[in-house]
Amino acid sequence: MSIFEGVATALITPFNEDESVNFGKMNELIDRQIDDGVDALVIAATTGEGATLTEEEHIKVITEAVKHINGRVPVIAGTGSNCTRTAIDLSKKAEAAGADAVLLVSPYYNKATQEGLYEHFGDTAAAIKIPAILYNIKSRTGVNIDPPTIARLAKDYPNIKAVKEASGNISDIGTIASLTEGLDFDIYSGNDDEVVPICSLGGKGVISVASHVIPKQMHDMVRAFLDGDTKKALHIQNKYLELMHTLFIEVNPIPVKEALNMMGYNVGGYRKPMTPMSEAHREILRQVLRKYELIK
C-alpha cells in the first residue's frame, strides 16, 4: 500500500524575524495546502531547512505539524542525516511524535560506499516500524544511491516503501522500476519538471516544491495521469515548466520562500548559510509570478 498517491508538498519552515520557528504561520501554510488538495506533507526536510534546525527544534516542528494536521493527510518527517545514529534517533522520535513515515536523505559529505548506504538505510529502517522513503539527490549529497542498492533495500527491509528520485537520471529510474517490479515499493519524483516522465515509468506522484505556489495544479497534474488522462497531465506539466524552473533559479528553498513572500504569505527569511535572493533573480521571479497571475 502506497504512503500516498499524488502530491506531497515538501513544506518550508517559516521563521520569525529573530529566526525562531513561526508555528502559527506553519499552521496557516498547512491548512492552505490541505484545502487546495495536496495528498501528503513532508515536514522538516531539505525544503524545510531541517539541516539548520537544532534537534530539539526539528522534533518540535514535526510534533506540532502532526498535531495540527490531525490525520487529514499523511505526515512524512524528514529525519535523514549523514550520521546513522542521528538518523535513527530522529526517526524514532518522529515515530513517537506520530509521523506516518520518514524521509531519509542519502548521507551527505561522508560519500559512503554503496555498502555503507545499504547499512545506513537498513539500520535506520530497522529501528522503526513506520514506512521509510529513501531520498536520492546526488546534486546535494555528493553520492548516488544506485538502483541495485535501492532494490536490495526494498527486498530486505519491508518498511522501506519508496524512493524520492531527484537524480534526474531517467535511465536509472527506469532500472529501479524494473528491479523493484512486484515489490510493495513506490517511486516518487523529486523534481517538479519530471513528474510526467517518472509517472510514465510507474511513479505514484511527486514530493514537490512548486506545490507551495500551485498546489491545486500540481495535484490535478498527477491525478490526471493516474486516472489515465496523460494528455491533460502533460499539458499542465508543460504549462508550468517555466515556473518550476524559476523556483530553482537559486538553491532551494530560497526562491520558493521569496515567492511565498511576494504572494503575501509572509513566511520570513532563512537561516545561514542560506541568504536572500539576489535582486536580479528576484526580478526574474517576480516577472514569472506575474506571468502566471500569482501576483499582480
Q: Catalytic residues, which ones?
A: 135, 164
Distance between CA atoms of residues 100 and 145, nearest Å: 23
Distances (CA, A) of 90 to 30, 118, 125, 132, 248: 22, 18, 12, 13, 28
Distance between CA atoms of residues 47 and 105, nearest Å: 12
- Joined together, the cell numbers standing for residue 157 give 527491509
- Joined together, the cell numbers standing for residue 29 give 501554510
169, containing H or E segment: none
Amino acid at 37: G
15 DSSP assignment = B
Distance between CA atoms of residues 193 and 279, nearest Å: 25
184, containing H or E segment: none
Distance between CA atoms of residues 54 and 50, nearest Å: 8
4 DSSP assignment = -
CB 256, CB 212: distance < 8 Å? yes
Q: Which residues fall within 8 angstroms of residue 19, CB to CB, at 6 or more apart?
A: 268, 269, 271
Distance between CA atoms of residues 256 and 265, nearest Å: 11
Rg (CA), the chain: 18
